[in-house]
Amino acid sequence: MPTRKAVFNIIDSERNSQDQHLPAMPFELFDWLNFIDDHLLRARTAGTKVEATDELRNLSACAVAAMEQYGVRPRTEEFNVNQPTNLSKLSGMLSDLDESQFSRQGVRANNDSDDDNMDAYDKEIAAQFNKEDENEDDD
């Protein structure tokens, strides 16, 4: 597994390549975000891990270029550097929501994968949504 320093060097190399190939005129911030979004989509739909990580390299370099152009605030105590990130907070919250906590209250997760297991109420609600969708198509 490459070290953080090695990964940063690879991203820096990609930035150097961008500087050589991209026009000198700076992009708008939302252009950079669109580039990032495009590379993320390519990474998600890549056929191999190598192709996906190539796109992550490009995405990272675009993010760096955008921050070079528009600036970025350093992470400091003011921003709770020792606090969990939003992602780790979310992960913790999700793990706290395990089904066993709620089973005592008669609540259970709906892990049904098809309509055959729907009760009458669920089928009625689904039919109402389908009818609304059909009415919207007629408009």
Per-residue pLDDT of 64-123, as tens digits, reads 999 999 999 887 766 555 555 555 555 555 555 544 444 444 444 444 444 455 556 556
> Rounded to 5 degrees, what are φ and ψ at 80?
55, 55
Distance in Å from the first CA to the final CA of the chain? 56
pTM beyond 0.75: the answer is no
Q: Does the pLDDT at position 2 exceed 60?
A: yes
What token pair was written down for 92? 């913790």
Counted residue by residue, the chain has a size of 139
Q: CA-CA distances (angstroms) from residue 84 to 73, 74, 87, 89?
A: 18, 16, 8, 6
**Are 56 and 43 within 8 A, CB to CB?**
yes
| pLDDT at residue 74, as a whole number | 85
